[in-house]
């Protein structure tokens, strides 16, 4: 069979598409690869006239220096505590609030929700100082509680989960109510599992957001032993002459967990659910 015009057109279209995608991937990945490769280069090679993609001489000195310069394990630990607890708390609280706004009947529900949405218009930088002052007067500076609590509920996430929950048919909850589920069991055993795609998405966002967060931990954690990874890394940068090998090694250590989490959660990302719940 001869190739028809539309066949040829679609081949051309596909080729263009793939070329575009490959170029995009290269552009996106390049800094990442550069960081990775630099972290394994010797200081001399980093500044050669002709840059190399891969190190000619692989060295772990960057990592060694990094772990010698600061107490990496301590900061890693701080970062994990910060990111994990803020993620766990915020997902739980956001989902609970979203459930109330989506499915429970109470007077003033819509108004309260509108009020909540309005707060999204206030940029974080504006509230940072007042929150800092409040935490200070509560004596929560330099503490994990002070670091985590202000971020343990997020309006945007509440909004997202609520939208998702509103799609879940009311009858499923009513069936559960008749079946004997308690209100909490309905939330925990029916709503949460049904919201898994959106919760997985928000978990990743929240974790990566907290993991990469720099400004807030910098403000709240005044003592060096409470620094999270990004803050610790920044502090090295200031203390010594910039050692690029070390800095890139640090960046790798910071980025790696975030990338891993992202890849792991990928398959849970938004996809059709509730299929089969009601007539299909």
Residue 251 tokens, joined: 């960046």
- In terms of phi and psi (left: phi > 0; alpha: psi -120 to 50; beta: otherwise), the region of 221 is beta
Q: Residue 55 carries which DSSP code?
A: -
What proportions of the chain, in percent to the nearest 5, are helix, strand and coil? 75, 0, 25
Query: CB-wise, 81 or 175, nearer to other proteins?
Result: 175
At its nearest, how many Å lie between other proteins and the CB of residue 181?
A: 6
Between 112 and 175, CB nearer to other proteins: 175
Is position 238 an interface residue for other proteins (rule: CB under 8 A)? no
3-state secondary structure of 269: coil
Nearer to other proteins, 174 or 225 (CB): 174
DSSP structural state of residue 3: P
Q: Is residue 31 a contact residue for other proteins (CB under 8 A)?
A: no
The answer to whether 99 touches 165, Cβ cutoff 8 Å, is yes
Q: Which residues of 239-255 are buried (b: 16+ CB within 10 A; e: fewer)?
A: eeeebbbbbbbbbbbbb
Restricted to residues 256-275, the positions that interact with other proteins (CB under 8 A) are 273-275
70: its two tokens? 């600061």
Of positions 35, 74, 89, 176, contacts other proteins by CB under 8 A: 176
By the rule CB under 8 A, 108 interacts with other proteins:
no
Using CB under 8 A as the binding rule, the residues of this chain from 151 to 170 that contact other proteins are 169
Candidates 19, 117, 122, 277: give the one binding other proteins (CB under 8 A).
277
Residue from 190, 236, 255, 265 in contact with other proteins (CB under 8 A): 190
Of 133 and 277, CB closest to other proteins: 277
Give me the residues that bind other proteins (CB under 8 A), please: 169, 171-172, 174-181, 185, 190, 193-194, 273-280
């Amino acid at each position: 069979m001869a190739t028809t015009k539309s066949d040829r057109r679609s081949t051309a279209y596909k080729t263009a598409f793939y070329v575009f995608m490959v170029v995009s991937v290269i552009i996106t990945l390049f800094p990442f690869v550069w960081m990775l490769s630099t972290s394994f280069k010797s200081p001399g090679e980093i500044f050669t006239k002709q840059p190399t993609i891969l190190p000619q001489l692989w060295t772990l000195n960057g990592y060694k220096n990094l772990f010698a310069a600061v107490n990496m394990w301590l900061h890693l630990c701080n970062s994990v505590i910060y990111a994990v607890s803020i993620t766990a708390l915020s997902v739980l609280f956001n989902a609970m609030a979203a459930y109330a706004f989506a499915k429970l009947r109470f007077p003033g529900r819509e108004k309260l929700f509108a009020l909540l949405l309005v707060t999204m218009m206030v940029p974080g930088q504006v509230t940072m100082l007042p929150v800092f002052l409040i935490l200070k007067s509560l004596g929560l500076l330099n503490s994990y509680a002070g670091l985590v609590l202000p971020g343990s509920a997020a309006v945007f996430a509440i909004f997202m989960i609520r939208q998702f929950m509103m799609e879940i048919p009311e009858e499923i909850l009513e069936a559960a109510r008749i079946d004997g589920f308690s209100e909490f069991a309905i939330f925990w055993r029916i709503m949460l599992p049904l919201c898994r795609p959106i919760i997985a998405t928000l978990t990743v966002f929240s974790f990566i957001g907290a993991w990469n967060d720099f400004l807030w931990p910098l403000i709240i954690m005044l003592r060096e032993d409470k620094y999270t990874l990004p803050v610790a890394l920044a502090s090295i940068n200031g203390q010594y002459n910039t050692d690029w090998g070390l800095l890139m090694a640090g960046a790798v250590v910071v980025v790696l967990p975030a990338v891993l989490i992202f890849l792991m959660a990928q398959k849970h990302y938004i996809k059709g659910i509730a299929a089969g719940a009601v007539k299909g």
